[in-house]
Amino acid sequence: MIISQSTMDVDFVRKVEALSGTSVRRCFQCGKCSAGCPMATFMEHPPNRVVRLLQLGQWQRILAGRSIWYCASCETCSTRCPNKVHLASIMDALRKLSWDAEGPSKESYVQLANKLFLQNIRTYGRQYEMRLAAVFNVKSGQFLKDLMLGPKLISKGKLKMFHSKNKNLPEIEKIFTRIEEMRKKGEAL
């Protein structure tokens, strides 16, 4: 698909700059971030290209892809950037914006998995893998994915058939509400 003015969303760039507290325009594409990124080989857009796409306001392309979810937040890019672009913060901001956007990010399984993971924590106070796997498979539409691993994990005691609740559930709920309030006020990502 060709990049044209109609897809160049400069407001999105400003949003990322405000959230991350770092300049996106400052990047001059030296490529050092991609050169040192341990996850770059797994990404369809290496880190430098993520920034370049961002400069051109191509948020759909970034959020539709998996690059931002493969980022391990190791901050090697930020540490080495010769131009003071804090790429790790940009990645954080992009993940947050992807989370908020009910758009192309739906395609991302990583985001779905993360969402379900947190839902489980909120409901049970700890992880309930059986439910996580089942709901993930249903919601992602791949019903039989990893099905044969189930019996093996159950026999080894790694996968519980029934859930057990954390006794400090109200405390955990407090953490979630506090973070939600902070995000509303813009104090957290």
Partner 1 sequence: MSRIGVFVCHCGENISRTVDVERVAAQVGKMPGVAFATDYKYMCSDPGQTLLKKTIQEQKLSHVVVAACSPRMHEKTFRKAVEAAGLNPYLCEMANIREHCSWVHEDKQEATAKAIEIVGMLVERVKKNRVLPTITVPVTKRSLVIGGGIAGIQAALDIADAGHHVVLVERDPSIGGHMAQLSETFPTLDCSQCIMTPKMVDVANHPNITLYSYSEIEQVDGYIGNFQVTIRRKARSVDEDKCTGCGVCMEKCPVKKIPNKFDCNLGMRPAIYVPFPQAVPNTPVIDRDNCIKFKTGKCGLCQKVCGPGAVDYEQEDRLVVEPVGAIVVATGFDLYTIDEKPKGSMIKGYGEFGHGKIPDVIDGMTFERLASASGPTGGKILRPSDGKEPKQIVFIQCIGSRAREKGISYCSKVCCMYTAKHTMLYHHKVHDGQAYVFFMDARTPGKAYDEFWRRSIEEEEAVYIRGMVSRLYQKGDKIVVMGSDIAVGVQVEIEADMVVLATAIQPRTGADSLAQKLGISYDKYNFYSEAHAKLRPVECATAGIYLVGACQGPKDIPDTVSQASAAAAKVMTLFAKDKLEREPIVARVKEAGCVGCFACKKVCAYGAVEEKEIRDRQGNLIKVVAYVNPGVCGGCGTCQATCPSKSVELDGYTDEQIVAMIEAL
> Which residues form the interface with partner 1 (CB under 8 A)?
1-5, 8, 10, 23, 25-26, 28-29, 48-49, 52-53, 55-56, 58
For partner 1, the closer of residues 66 and 160 by Cβ is 66
For partner 1, the closer of residues 28 and 176 by Cβ is 28
Q: Is the Cβ–Cβ distance between 82 and 27 less than 8 Å? A: no
Q: Is the Cβ–Cβ distance between 22 and 7 less than 8 Å? A: no
Q: Is the Cβ–Cβ distance between 67 and 27 less than 8 Å? A: no
Rounded to a whole number of angstroms, the minimum distance from the CB of residue 101 to partner 1 is: 21
For partner 1, the closer of residues 48 and 89 by Cβ is 48
| Three-class SS state of 65 | coil
Rounded to a whole number of angstroms, the minimum distance from the CB of residue 100 to partner 1 is: 24
Long-range contacts of 97-102 (CB under 8 A, 24+ apart): 97/12, 97/15, 97/16, 97/19, 97/59, 97/63, 98/63, 98/68, 101/63
Rounded to a whole number of angstroms, the minimum distance from the CB of residue 46 to partner 1 is: 10
Rounded to a whole number of angstroms, the minimum distance from the CB of residue 153 to partner 1 is: 42
For partner 1, the closer of residues 31 and 151 by Cβ is 31
